[in-house]
Every structure is written in C-alpha cells, then in structure tokens.
Amino acid sequence: MTKSLIDQARDYAINALHYEVVLLPKPGLVDPQSNGAHTDMNVYTFINSITSLSPFFTQYIQTGFYHQQSFDTLFEPLRKIGKQAEDAMLTATKGINTHKGANFSFAILLGATGLFYQENCPSTWTAANSDDVLSIAAKICRHLIEHDLEQLDKEEDLSYGEKNYLTYGLTGIRGEAVAGYPTLSKLLDYVRQLPDEGEVKLLRSLVYLMSETEDSNLVHRGGYEAMKNVQKDMKKIHEANLSKTALLHALTEYDQIMIKHHLSPGGSADLLSLAIYFLQLEGLSFW
C-alpha cells in the first residue's frame, strides 16, 4: 500500500509538470504553440527536463516517509537530493534553467507528503489533507529565510530570487515555503469552487496566480514595477470572469504583450504545477 501511495504521488507530480507546460495560451510562458518570452527553450526542453527530474521525485517522497527526526532536519537531506536533481536537469537541458523553482518546491512538498504518509493513508484525499501537507512543509522550512536569505551578503553567485531579496526585500519561493505556501493555499480554495471546465479551470488558475504572486522571474526580467503592472492587468482579467472564448482571446493577446517586453511569469507557472499536484490527489481530473 505504501509503495502504491508513493508511486501515485510521484506520478501526480510528474503529471503536474507536463500538464503545466502543455497548457495554452499562457502569457510569456512556453507552451506547444509558443516559446513565450523565451529564446533559449521550447516545449521539448521542458519534456527533457521533466524526464530528468522524475527519479528524484521518488527519492523526495521516500526521504520524507523514512525520516525519523524533527521536521526541520528533513530540509538538508531534501536539499542534497535537490542539488543532484538540478544537476541532472541542467545536463538534460544543456544548461538551461527550466524547473529550478519547481524542483525546489516539489522537493519540499513531496518530502512533506512522505512525512504525512508515515501516519496517514487516507482512502480519499481531502482538502484538509492538502492543508496538512502544506503545514508540514512550513515546519520543514522553518529556518530557511534565516539560514539562506539573511546570509546573502557573504555570497557571490546569487540566484534571481536572492538578488530580489537584497534589492526589494522579496522573499520569493522561500518565503512561500516558510509560510506553508499561502498563495498556493488560496489558489486551491479558489479553484475548488470553479465549475468543471477542463483546462480552462487551469487557465483561470494561472490568471489568479499572476494577479497575486510576487513573481521573481518577472522582477528579474522587467523590474518591480513591471511585475506590479502584470498583477494589475491580470486582476482585471480575473475579476471580469470572462467566458472561455473571451478568456482565450485575452490571454492570447496578453502573450504578445509579455513577449514584447520579454516578461515571463515563471514563478506563477511553478505554483500552478504545485496546485495541479494537489488537485490530482484530491481526485480532480482534467480530461
């Protein structure tokens, strides 16, 4: 039973990354019809990346499942595996960063899922179970900002998110993790109430995320004001509650704006993948 649950969680995480990359139209992001604002990657780059990460997803869950110490001591073993996964990703993509942020979060959340499965094997996964895993994730990451972000003045090779913290005070995905992924939790509450529209439900989810998320990718590419403008534009689309046809048209048009300004909401895409993972656990199907 445990192996079956571990395999299922791994498969749902892999599915989530595939579902995200094939979803379209996604403003500024890679999909099967557009490379978005990216000139160095396409949908095949993402497929290669997902394949390279897959074996490590099993390791994340197993590491959590067999962990016997305090929750916060799980972070370092997960980080060690995560670095191996990142190296495998960069080899598969010839050095292109496709899933660094998603890999970080899936390491935490799959590890948290493994910890959850130590004591719980629910026959039907509920929203409360998803909340339990997010709470465990916060405990795993309890000291992450203090450990990572407050020591950055001693580092030389900084990520986009780390530079954003020093420049704007944005904690990015680390802040999300330490707080138990509040933006993801709000998205899950929102999407559970949406009507069954298949992939359109995911597009509405992306719009919601782009209106809420302090996206480090947008800040890196266009600055803080560009990120705020994207949030404002997406909020208008979100609040308009457009029909499927009107939504597809609006997102197709906004894709051209994002491409023109070289903007890509990669942080929102990562959070969407995480949401898809939990929605599958909760029994939602997209076909």
Cα torsion at 225, 230, 235, 241 (round to 10°)? 170
Q: How far apart are CA 220 and CA 159, in angstroms?
A: 10
So what's the pLDDT on residue 184? Answer: 97
Q: How far apart are CA 179 and CA 195, in angstroms?
A: 29
Q: What is the CATH number of domain 2-281?
A: 1.10.4200.10
- pLDDT of 36 over the 70 cut: yes
pTM for the model stands at 0.93
- Over residues 42-51, mean pLDDT: 98
So what's the pLDDT on residue 145? Answer: 66
So what's the pLDDT on residue 166? Answer: 52
So what's the pLDDT on residue 138? Answer: 96
Res. 286 pLDDT band, cuts 50 70 90? confident
So what's the pLDDT on residue 279? Answer: 97
Amino acid occupying residue 59: Q
Which residue's entry shows tokens 């497929």?
47
User: Per the structure block, which two tokens stand in for 205?
Assistant: 């989810």
- pLDDT of 271 over the 90 cut: yes
- pLDDT of 20 over the 90 cut: yes
- Over residues 125-134, mean pLDDT: 98
Per DSSP, 203 falls in state H
- pLDDT of 152 over the 60 cut: no
User: Per the structure block, which two tokens stand in for 272?
Assistant: 């969407």
Give CA angle at 86 (206, 84), nearest 5°. Answer: 140
- Residue-wise pLDDT for 158-215, tens only, equals 666 666 555 545 667 888 999 999 999 999 999 999 998 889 999 999 999 999 999 9
Domain residue spans of the chain: 2-281
- Residue-wise pLDDT for 48-85, tens only, equals 999 999 999 999 999 999 999 999 999 999 999 999 99
- pLDDT of 236 over the 60 cut: yes
So what's the pLDDT on residue 101? Answer: 94
So what's the pLDDT on residue 175? Answer: 87
- Over residues 145-153, mean pLDDT: 57
- Phi/psi of residue 31, nearest 5 degrees: -145, 180
CB 200 within 8 A of CB 23: no
User: What does pLDDT average to over the chain?
Assistant: 92
So what's the pLDDT on residue 173? Answer: 83
So what's the pLDDT on residue 158? Answer: 62
So what's the pLDDT on residue 170? Answer: 63
- Over residues 242-262, mean pLDDT: 97
- pLDDT of 1 over the 80 cut: no
- pLDDT of 26 over the 90 cut: yes
Helices 2-22 and 100-119, interaxial angle, to 10°?
Answer: 150
